[in-house]
Structure 1
Amino acid sequence: MTVDLTTKFTDFKILKDEPLAHYSWTKTGGPADFLAFPESDQQVEALVQYADQIDMPITVLGNASNLIVRDGGIRGLTIILTAMNHIHVDGERVIAEAGAAYIETTKVAQQAGLTGLEFAAGIPGSIGGGVFMNAGAYGGETKFVLESATVLTQELAVEVWPHEQLNFGYRHSAIQDQHAIVLGATFKLRLGHKDLIQHEMNHLNYLRKSKQPLEYPSCGSVFKRPKGHFAGKLIHEAGLQGYRAGGAEVSKKHAGFIVNVDHATATDYLHVIHHVQETVFAQTGIHLETEVRIIGVEP
């Protein structure tokens, strides 16, 4: 590229040709042309505005936990928001920047004696990713507790979108449709008892640890839940647990996960995903839709 963003912006970290395998939870992914770590809303806005001016494509990532980046990497500018991680409590509200870890946000809520976020105690993503995907677990969803989100729109306006404007659905929000960038979120919770909140968080984390293959890198739950079915059960019944391509394998512990057991590539992951989809469809007529985001270019 003719433009070098590492010299254009010097008040925060920008890396050139940086492998995204260093940041993704699958430990896979090719290089980003430029990888930026802004530390404020203003820096995000400046980055996006400049990239727009020079017609450079932009990709925004949170904690890269429910994500597969193809081995060819990502062209243009990739923004990771994990340096924007401030969390504070205001009465019965918890306000978090987009890059804050969802798990850390639940801990802050518990310490403040606020209940409602327990379901997210083990969700490895960021707040921005949680809002973007309407992340959920164990019967809870982001939409149940989110009061509003602060976003940067395509028109480069910073706006506060109330819950109603976010149009939440299953693993869906208006952020996806309108290509906005989440900068922060406000959760409206309820007063509770710290010990009871912690007990519920411990219980859910125990369930997660006992049922999910947390000992291996993975992208979390790979497939959306088909109506009337469970993806993991369909995969298990298709005899696919242990199916492997390269270093990527359908988990023997939980069929809804694909784990990196031996230096897998993103191409390995995609091969396993496609094989699972084809096999389940051939046996049941049900198409498993991916929950994990798959981005980037082919190698």
Structure 2
Amino acid sequence: MVNISELSAFCDKLGCKITPECSLKEFTTFRIGGPCRALISINSAHSAAELLRYLKANEVRYGVLGRGSNIIVSDEGFDGVILLIGSDFAGITVEDDTIKCQAGALLASACVHAQQHGLTGMENLFGIPGTVGGALFMNAGAYGSEMKDVVASAQYIDENCNICNISAEDMDLSYRHSAFSQRSCIITSVTMKLTKGEPAAIKAAMTECMQKRSSKQPLEYPSAGSTFKRPEGSYASLLIDQCGLKGMSRGGAQVSEKHSGFVINKGDATCSDVLELCEDIKKIVFDKTGFRLELEPVILR
């Protein structure tokens, strides 16, 4: 059981903000979920490592959130401490053709920095609603580009609370997968290597990418992005369309009528609504097509 007063004093020493009994609804793009025992905003790799040591020594459950764009939080919340890798840990530096980002930096901000410095390679990643650390954790991608195409190295905290470095070659990056997703690690910074380009052309490509997103995806509603991973041999949205499930709903959760690959929060959805709808979709798609769909977002409970 976490001792909030002791934990608060420890956070004060590290200069980290702590919010006891914090609702997680406002920290996810789905706008769903209950509270955690405390939410701590990380401000450095050192403070993250120290907090991990403290939590493990005191047998306190913990979870990690970036922007919460690929997370579904249970209605009961999380009975433990959440480490927020966000705006207090979001520095970006550019040197020649290299961009180094603290893990809480928004991927969109990194793309803008690249464009402003005439660096190309990240245009198709612009608009993915997550942090750089979260994007690497799941090897996020869109329109034929993935993080594995630009990442050079990263810093992370391992299972023993040590700060380590890793090269891209050792990250086991594949579709929506990385070595980090198989381990209890926390990414603290990401270094990306790009190539020189023309700022105006890069900006035009980013604008086109964002227009494509806006026209095809239900960005006006809260969601966790693409709800299902791409099954081998097909596409989740195509299968859902073929099964006539566009617009299908459970409570406040609905299969988007704009893009059937997205389950959206129409305004008052619960985690239960979302998960029940997703299970119905998976069953119907399997019964009608033989394809098994797998959830892409992580469920935090």
TM-score after normalising by structure 1: 0.97
Q: Secondary structure at the match of 1:220?
A: coil
Q: Secondary structure at the match of 2:224?
A: strand
Tell me what 1:295 maps to: 300
Distance in 2 (CA, whole Å) between partners of 1:279 and 1:175 is 32
Distance in 1 (CA, whole Å) between partners of 2:16 and 2:153 is 28
Tell me what 2:240 maps to: 235
Which structure 2 residues correspond to residues 146-225 of structure 1 after superposition, within 5 A? 146-225=151-230
Distance in 1 (CA, whole Å) between partners of 2:258 and 2:158 is 41
Give me the identity figure in percent: 38
Name the CA shift for 1:115/1:263 in 2 (closer, same or farther; >3 Å).
same
Q: Secondary structure at the match of 1:219?
A: coil
Deviation string 1:215-260 (CA, Å, 9 cap, x unpaired) is 1111100101111101001001111111111111000000000111
Amino acid of the residue matched to residue 11 of structure 2? F
- Return the offset for 1:56: 0.9
Amino acid of the residue matched to residue 192 of structure 1? G
Q: Secondary structure at the match of 2:239?
A: helix
Tell me what 1:279 maps to: 284
Distance in 1 (CA, whole Å) between partners of 2:74 and 2:174 is 27
Q: Secondary structure at the match of 1:96?
A: strand
Name the CA shift for 1:2/1:191 in 2 (closer, same or farther; >3 Å).
closer
Amino acid of the residue matched to residue 288 of structure 2? Q
Deviation string 1:162-201 (CA, Å, 9 cap, x unpaired) is 0011111110000011221100100000000000100110
Distance in 1 (CA, whole Å) between partners of 2:80 and 2:265 is 27
Query: Which ranges of 4 or more aligned residues in structure 1 deviate by more than 6 Å?
Result: none
Which structure 2 residues correspond to residues 49-198 of structure 1 after superposition, within 5 A? 49-82=53-86, 83-198=88-203
Amino acid of the residue matched to residue 167 of structure 1? D
- Return the offset for 1:153: 0.5
Which structure 1 segments of 5+ residues have no match?
A: none
- Return the offset for 1:2: 5.1
Which of residues 24, 27, 32 is equivalent to 2:28? 24
- Return the offset for 1:57: 1.6
TM-score after normalising by structure 2: 0.97
Amino acid of the residue matched to residue 130 of structure 1? A
RMSD: 0.9
Distance in 2 (CA, whole Å) between partners of 1:262 and 1:109 is 35
Amino acid of the residue matched to residue 8 of structure 2? T
Amino acid of the residue matched to residue 288 of structure 1? L
Amino acid of the residue matched to residue 108 of structure 2? I
Distance in 1 (CA, whole Å) between partners of 2:272 and 2:118 is 45
Which structure 2 segments of 5+ residues have no match?
A: none
Tell me what 1:46 maps to: 50
Distance in 2 (CA, whole Å) between partners of 1:116 and 1:85 is 21
Say if 2:250 and 2:277, in contact at 8 Å, map to a contact too. yes
Distance in 1 (CA, whole Å) between partners of 2:230 and 2:194 is 27
Q: Secondary structure at the match of 1:151?
A: strand
Say if 2:115 and 2:199, in contact at 8 Å, map to a contact too. yes
Distance in 2 (CA, whole Å) between partners of 1:61 and 1:126 is 10
